[in-house]
Amino acid sequence: LVLETHLQAGIQKDEFFVQYQPLMDLATNRLYGVEALVRWRHPELGIIPPNSFIPIAEESGLIIPLGRKIFEMAFADFAAWKTNFASARDLCLSINLSVKQMLQSNLAADIQAMARDAGLSLENINLEITESLFIDDMERAVKTIRELKTLGICISIDDFGTGYSSLKYLNQFSIDLVKIDKILIDNINGNLTNYNIVASMLELCAKLNLKAMAEGIEDIDQLEKLQGMNCPFGQGYYFAPPRDRNIIEEMLAGNM
Ligand code: G
Ligand code: G
Ligand code: MN
Ligand code: NA
């Protein structure tokens, strides 16, 4: 309850900010997009990672106003990058959404309004959702995804392979991108079973015409294995950790 009170105050005092982690095109080794990841700069406790407050924000419902702030910040940055950097023209922006946010009836209209306020078109905007969404309220989830897709927004399944992982959802909900969880990527070199699971997932995605991204790539051996399997996209500390906005701007200015 104490943290919840701090969280509420923190939202009002704008203590939250967004970092961005590069998403890479593995075929060309070029920047494909960035994933927005929220952080809390607490006046006494310092930087608090999302794992420590997102669950509380979800339980308390504060994820709704916080989520709106995250969109506003990321949309403002993204709009500025599109204006200022030719290299950002086709860049994709990925934003994580909690189940609670996805189940708001006005989500699509809300996002549309925030994009309009930021002077941003909804092309190249990608929302990351988790499979648990489909257990919670299937009907609402389907309706929301349809509305978002009508606006031109892309949908990713985050942490794929760890949870419910029903393959039929991928097609049924016209998912655009599957993010294969770090846990499966971790052991891709040491463990033949893991390797085969990832290889099969990539094959399946290709057959279903889904983009696939490997999460948590930390070394060149993993990268080369994934490239050998024709994994189209990747993310991980090997390329870059989540970075402050100004570092991303340096990259866009031509140093990467
Ligand atoms: O950045 P980090 O690895 O600490 O993020 C941990 C988790 O917190 C992510 O996997 C993601 O699920 C969640 N998270 C990070 N940023 C956001 C955000 O902006 N919105 C929501 N809903 N979740 C986020
Ligand atoms: O669940 P989600 O995919 O949204 O989480 C993304 C988070 O995963 C990022 O915030 C980042 O902190 C973390 N992450 C990204 N790449 C790596 C990696 O290579 N290794 C580890 N340990 N964590 C990573
Ligand atoms: Mn994510
Ligand atoms: Na993940």
User: Which residue ranges form the domains of the chain, and what is each CATH number?
Assistant: 2-255 (3.20.20.450)
pLDDT tens-digit series, residues 41-82:
999 989 999 999 999 999 999 999 999 999 999 999 999 999
Q: Report the separation in Å between the CA atom of 253 and the middle of ligand 4, taken as the mean of its atom positions.
A: 28
Task: Note the pLDDT of residue 103.
Answer: 92
Q: Tell whether the model's pLDDT for residue 256 goes beyond 60.
A: no
pTM over 0.90: yes
Q: Is the ipTM of this complex over 0.95?
A: yes
Is 170 or 157 the better-scoring residue by pLDDT?
157
pLDDT interval class at 151 (50, 70, 90): very high
Share of the chain above pLDDT 90, in %: 83
Q: What's the token pair of residue 171?
A: 């097609």
The one-character DSSP state at 217 is -
* C-beta of residue 47 within 8 angstroms of C-beta of residue 41: yes
Q: Report the separation in Å between the CA atom of 19 and the middle of ligand 2, taken as the mean of its atom positions.
A: 12
Task: Note the pLDDT of residue 165.
Answer: 63
CB 65: neighbour CB atoms within 10 A? 14
The residue written with tokens 């995250």 in the block is: 70
Share of the chain above pLDDT 70, in %: 97
pLDDT tens-digit series, residues 182-223:
999 998 998 899 999 999 999 999 998 999 999 999 999 999
Q: 215 CB less than 6 Å from ligand 2? A: yes
Given ligand 1 and candidates 37, 40, 99, 125, which is best to mutate, with the most ligand atoms within 8 Å of its CB? 37
Supply the mean pLDDT for the chain.
93
Ligand 1 pocket (Cβ < 6 Å) reads 36-38, 49-51, 54, 70, 96-98, 242
Q: Report the separation in Å between the CA atom of 217 and the middle of ligand 2, taken as the mean of its atom positions.
A: 9
Q: Report the separation in Å between the CA atom of 36 and the middle of ligand 1, taken as the mean of its atom positions.
A: 8
pLDDT interval class at 2 (50, 70, 90): confident
Q: 237 CB less than 6 Å from ligand 2? A: yes
Specify the ligand 1 atom closest to the Cα of 101.
22
Closest by Cα among 64, 83, 52 to 11:
64
pLDDT interval class at 133 (50, 70, 90): confident
Closest by Cα among 90, 92, 78, 82 to 34:
92
